[in-house]
Structure 1
């Protein structure tokens, strides 16, 4: 379980900010973190991951500080944790040293599925290839908490669907998965819950089953959010 209490995070050199109080994400939930550019999606994931200091508040995972749970989390982002001169094979050695549960055989299978050359320097990869590599690395860590920041950027619709299917098939069933994305139509049938941010505040927090019972889609809810005033999450 992830809990955020009185979380206040700001960057002095940008307009990015986050203020969230009382947010709880249950173990095993698949949550879409939605919102426009600059809404705080990436800031939220980085805060949970323990990247950068908070101005105020605390974030815990299963009752312990998030910064003590790094081995149980995987942050999947195009920026990656690799060095540009690494090859995917070198990257695997690096990951195995820091993540005890890293599954190298599974990682190699994903490289094959994504048709990524294992001995070519990563700096020569395209944007889409780098993201495929990070998805392969993140899933292979066998982490309990997967945080995915815009994993479908740079892919066409068919590649996105294939990547989504591959990611879901790689889950054991009890992982907590947080995905930031603009592609609401494609994840609506995958996520359990949607959290919609605007200017660092939670504007909506709902379960997809409840939304459907009301006869709404994610697109409908996003439109409603645009037409309402922000509120603090308490």
Structure 2
């Protein structure tokens, strides 16, 4: 279980980046971390990962401080943690040294799945290819908690679909997944729960099955929370 208690993170001393009083994410849930740009999604994921100092509060992973659970966490981000001067194979060998549960065979199979050339240096890859290397490495670490921050950026529709199919097929039953994405319609069918952020706070916490029983769509709920105005563009056009 992931637990956050009275977590507060500040930017520039005064600006709140994240405020969460209480949040629990049970083991095995796939949770969508949703919201507009600047709503606090990445800050939330980094806080769970233990990146950056909190002003106050506590984050526990399976009842222990995050620093004691690094071996059980994989953080897959657009920024990438790969070493660009290495080839994917060399990078895998590097990870094998630092992550005892790293599965090299699985890593190579995932690289082949995404048609990644294993012998060229990562720095020669496109942005999308680098992101795929990051995903392959993240899912091969044997982590129980997998955090994905916008894993679909730089990927076409078919690659996104393939990634989701791959992710579901290789997951065990004990992984907890937190996935941040703007492609709400594409992940809605694979997540169990949605956390909707606005201005650094969780303004919506919904289980997808509950929304379906109520006849609601996740995208519509997000529009309501964000205050999105369907006809705003029409008013703007009148001023032109």
| TM-score (norm: length of structure 2) | 0.92
Aligned to 1:152: 152
Give the ranges of 4+ consecutive aligned residues of structure 1 lying more than 3 Å apart after TM superposition: 13-16
Which SS does the other structure have where 2:8 is aligned? strand
8 Å contact 2:10–2:55 — kept in the other structure?
yes
Question: CA RMSD, aligned part only?
Answer: 1.5
8 Å contact 2:8–2:16 — kept in the other structure?
no
Q: Aligned-pair distance for 1:79?
A: 1.7
Determine the C-alpha separation between the residues in 2 that align with 1:75 and 1:86. Answer: 20
Determine the C-alpha separation between the residues in 1 that align with 2:57 and 2:189. Answer: 33
8 Å contact 1:16–1:43 — kept in the other structure?
no
Aligned to 1:59: 59
Aligned to 2:139: 139
8 Å contact 1:16–1:38 — kept in the other structure?
no
Note the residue ranges of structure 2 that are not aligned, 5 or more in a row.
229-240
Q: Aligned-pair distance for 1:78?
A: 2.1
Q: Are residues 1:107 and 2:107 paired? A: yes
Determine the C-alpha separation between the residues in 2 that align with 1:123 and 1:204. Answer: 39
Aligned length: 228
Determine the C-alpha separation between the residues in 2 that align with 1:159 and 1:13. Answer: 40
Which SS does the other structure have where 1:203 is aligned? strand
Q: Aligned-pair distance for 1:138?
A: 0.6
Which SS does the other structure have where 1:5 is aligned? strand
Bigger Rg, which one: 2
Moved more, 11-20 or 190-199: 11-20
8 Å contact 1:143–1:175 — kept in the other structure?
yes
Q: Aligned-pair distance for 1:180?
A: 0.2
Q: Aligned-pair distance for 1:5?
A: 0.6
CA pair 202-81 structure 1, distance change in 2 beyond 3 A: same
Determine the C-alpha separation between the residues in 2 that align with 1:11 and 1:155. Answer: 31
CA deviation profile, 1:117-159 (whole Å, cap 9, x unmatched): 1121111111111111111001101110000000111111111
Determine the C-alpha separation between the residues in 2 that align with 1:12 and 1:127. Answer: 30
Determine the C-alpha separation between the residues in 1 that align with 2:16 and 2:34. Answer: 15
Determine the C-alpha separation between the residues in 1 that align with 2:11 and 2:57. Answer: 15
8 Å contact 2:127–2:154 — kept in the other structure?
yes
